[in-house]
Chain A
Amino acid sequence: MSTDTVPSGRPADRLRDGDTKVEPGPSAAARKVGGVAGWIDDRTSSAKGVNYLLRKVFPDHWSFMLGEIAMYSLIICLISGALLTLWFVPSATQVVYDGSYVPLRGQTMSDAYASTLNISFDIKGGLIVRQIHHWAALMFVVGLTVHMFRVFFTGAFRKPRELNWVIGTVLALLAAIEGFAGYSLPDDLLSGTGLRAMEGFVQTAPVIGSYLAYGIFGGPFPGEAIIPRLYSAHVLLLPAVIVGLFTAHIVLVAVQRHTQFPGPGRTNDNVVGYRVMPVYAAKAGGFFFIVFGIIALISALFTINPIWAYGPYDPSPVTAGSQPDWYMGAYDGALRLLPGWLEFEIFGNTLSLNIALGALVLLPLVYIVLGAYPFVERWVTGDTGEHHLLDRPRNNPTRTGIGMAGIVAYSVFMFAAGNDIMAIKLGMSINDITRVFQISLFVGPPLAFWVTKRICLSLQRRDRDLALHARESGRIMRGADGSFHERHDALTEQERWILVQHEPVAPLQLTAQVDENGVERPLSRKDRLRAKLSHFYFKDAVNPVTPAELAAAHHDGQQAEAIEAPLDYEGIDGRQDHGPGDGGHGADVDSQARGVGSASRMKE
């Protein structure tokens, strides 16, 4: 339409008046990209799908990077592991070492150990690849564990993401097994001792133990079969399953769209964030390099698993301070804590629960409990809605408490695996340390639950207080009648929203025991249990401030505090000389305002 782009200097040009403006064509580079992409699209019609992915919006929060750390560490493990397979020889055949590491020259050792020494000393850059592989594996398990914490404490596992939580749980289990298989491969004295212990656990399985052990090791321990078998599990079977599940995990995240933290403008029905192209392509892509770079940095400076210092495996010698990698520590620690009297003789057979419980039961149990939690919580709370907004951990004190209790229980087991190191470093009696751990196992988790829940509740009350009475400015104002009061700075609507956005909760009530015809309705035991658990979850819930409560608080506290209220409620004030900061009254107000009869809550 525009005429200004068409020069009208020459008469002939006037003929072009009224022509549609010629759009400037794409740049040469863009045309090139378009050309290649066009070639592919002609054959796959992938443009639509790719466009959708590139335009996808992801919410931003530092804690969403934790899963990314795990993801990138996994990729780094795959890359560095593929390189290591070029040099590692997965064989237990005994050879005489003649490589460049002088202290071990002439010793008889397995091919696996000799080739790991070669990677460490004779292949240029081999050691850095090995170190990156081991550090990345540790980082992978740390990353996924902390990612799990984030998902748990924010309630991101709720519908519709229970399935992804279960996939993640299985991934966590497989990661630990994959790690164990990996660090057992070099066949050094430390990892061999770990395998020896593993053989011991398997042997204690009731009835089939010795058969199982001979099946896994292909005969008596250590045998020559275990290294190749672990190798095939470590480089082929487990990675295939892990990569498959991991892909499913990521696809589900994309399909369900990422959860987001609550905030102004964010609802359960939207995703607020940045598009993949260009922001996340750069941020996430860059973050891969940062994770890789930090792992390389650690690998350059801090030696992990110096297998040359341990020597080749031999079932007779042992080093003091033998410990597994951290993610297996909990099960090793459990073995240190379980008392010997758990071994029984039953009709001439030996049932060794002091071992089986820690190794064969605890390991799967941890992951079964984790995997089952979303379903248990859903049943208890009766919450069937979809949740895309995360909980602030304080807003679900019971869940947060349960999570912390779980972490403490796991940590007690894990740190128990270091009881010998602690005894040496701290100059304390190992017996005392072990006793303390045994006691902590029973005392720690309930204590952690109680402390965490109390902290959450008081944080919630603080939130209520802040929402009701705003920030104490420290400025004293003098009223027209000569009274003094402290001025409170008002929150903006956006600031307040964070404090009041969450859903109010109340325990499930058992329905009437008598139906409308006067016939007694037997309550199932399941219902009673559910009501009890729901009571346990929600009995002391601190619910968010409602507009009515805010209005009342403004009325209430006017004499004692001057609140700069937002415009909506600005006219409200009064003379009640009522102490500010008692969220308890607020809760009562809340329940009355909503007509909920659970009046026993929060009475002081």
Chain B
Amino acid sequence: MNEKDSHPSGGEVTQPGEFGSTAVRLDQGHVVGDGGIPARFENPGFPPHTHRASDLSESGAKRAERAVGGLFILSILGTLGFVVAYFAIDKQSTMFIPGIGQANALHAVLGLTMALSLLGIGFGAVHWAKTLMPDTEEVEMRHPMRSSDEARKDFVQILGDGAESAHLTRRPIIKYALGGALGLFAVPVILPVIGGLGPLPGDDLSVSFWNGHQEEDGSYPNAPLRLMRDPQNTPIKASDVTIGSVFHVMPEGLLDLEKHVLEEKGKAAVIVMRLDPDDIRSQKEKDWGYQGIVAYSKICTHVGCPVGLYEQQTHHLLCPCHQSTFDVTQDCKVIFGPAKRPLPQLEITVDDEGYLISKGPFKEAVGPSFWERGSA
């Protein structure tokens, strides 16, 4: 190698080592002919092995032994700590963890001691493997995944012979009858599952508690219902709804239900806001409201999250799930985000006592779109 240091600088093409003198002719660095130089490099084989400290000296090995043993002992201490903490620490007590803050003491100590117990074993074992266990790499040969041709032929043979000896190929009645039977046998298993999953939706998605209780003949009373505060379940006087205020509303009677409260809430939830009537740019919105008090479905027309965020200043309703933004001054039209349809408006007025009531149910299905919701 060191011959290189003293360059035979004046020479023409010198002997290219073992490959013969005509191997490489230099012409702008291009090689013409292969001159016996192999097309690819050869795999040079393993590099020389480097020994570890624990291989070279007994004291190095001893050090490793002590480290591994120490880690295992730490694990034992962690386990003991866990047991002690389990009995000694009250489940209500709290402690301060720097950088994290106040935390449940039992939870934190149980977790930390458990981590110590586990990490001690883990790091001990890995350190042991890295320092004291053999570190000379071993070689195992691979074999192609493919089985031998005989084996593959044999397989086809066995299957063919089996089918033949079972008369499968010669007796089509058995073949096709078996095929049919196997094809159908899952039906008794699957049918009850599909049949029992749940009721058919019917018109369920298109009606809500605002329609009232379904009559015997399937019709709905569609009677006026008071707007009730959620969760206080008290009626709302129109005079209590000041400009800029927001009320989360349920229909009268919903919160008194014994059963299916959540299912009804999921469709009947309404948000009531009062705007300056001059700000309202939609005549229909004004007509369906009462002196600037408007009621809209709180269920997003995108995927059904509650549209819970109302910006008083801009009169925008924002859905926190996917940020569909509805402009309350424009009949809750979508002005941003992935929803398409405006929030359905609930027509309201006041009753004799001055409480807000609905003038009827929603005129369209509330909530997310579905195929047969129809164009409202």
Contact = CB atoms under 8 A, between A and B. Distances in A.
A338 B144 CA distance: 48
Contacts of B39: 546-548, 593-594
A316 B250 contact: yes
B9 A481 contact: yes
Interface stretch (B129-137, B215-223, B285-293): B129-137
Nearest to A487: B5
Contacts of A316: 230, 248, 250, 265, 269, 298, 306
Given A200-B367, A430-B323, A564-B4, A125 B14 contact: no
Interface residues of A, number: 161
Contacts of B200: 211, 214
B122 A546 contact: no
A101 to B, nearest CB: 10
A366 interface: no
Contacts of A589: 29-31
Interface bin, chain B: 35 or more
B198 A217 contact: yes
A264 B47 contact: yes
A21 interface: no
B198 A225 contact: yes
B375 A273 contact: no
Given A225-B198, A493-B44, A317 B7 contact: no
Contacts of B346: none
Interface string A544-573: 111111011101101100111111111111
Nearest to A359: B303
A3 interface: no
Contacts of B119: 289-290, 293-294, 297
B160 to A, nearest CB: 25
A275 interface: yes
A63 interface: no
A544 B1 CA distance: 24
B122 A483 contact: no
A317 B86 CA distance: 38
Interface in B350-376: 367-375
Interface stretch (A201-209, A243-251, A516-524): A201-209
A559 B26 CA distance: 13
Contact of B16 (A94, A320, A569): A569
Given A100-B92, A320-B320, A209 B371 contact: yes
Interface string B277-319: 0000000000000000000001100111110110000000000
A500 interface: yes
A249 to B, nearest CB: 16
B14 A300 contact: no
Nearest to A563: B4
B138 A273 contact: yes
A218 B197 contact: yes
Contacts of B45: 264-265
Given A257-B142, A279-B133, A216 B197 contact: yes
A551 B19 CA distance: 10
A211 B374 CA distance: 16
Given A286-B125, A316-B306, A547 B9 contact: no
Interface in A255-304: 255-257, 264-275, 278-279, 282-283, 285-294, 296-297, 299-302
A280 B111 CA distance: 28
Interface in A450-503: 477, 479-481, 483, 485, 487, 490, 492-494, 496-497, 500-501
Interface string A508-534: 000000000000000000000000000
Contacts of A388: 142
A210 B201 contact: yes
A322 B309 CA distance: 12
A547 B31 CA distance: 11
B61 interface: no
A34 interface: no
Contacts of B114: 128, 293, 296, 300
A199 B7 CA distance: 79
B34 A386 contact: no
Contact of A562 (B5, B38, B320, B334): B5
Contacts of B10: 481
A120 to B, nearest CB: 9
Nearest to B15: A571
Nearest to A280: B129
A497 B370 contact: no
A492 to B, nearest CB: 7
A555 B24 contact: yes
B129 A279 contact: yes
B171 interface: no
Given A340-B340, A479-B9, A565-B4, A494 B44 contact: yes
A335 B103 CA distance: 36
Contact of A124 (B32, B86, B112): B86
Contacts of A350: 369-375
Given A127-B104, A318-B320, 19 more contacts: A128-B111, A214-B199, A221-B304, A274-B133, A278-B134, A315-B266, A315-B299, A316-B306, A322-B321, A340-B302, A341-B340, A479-B6, A559-B9, A568-B17, A569-B17, A585-B30, A592-B32, A593-B31, A593-B39
Q: Which 4 A-B pairs have the closest CB atoms?
A: A300-B111, A200-B303, A286-B125, A289-B122
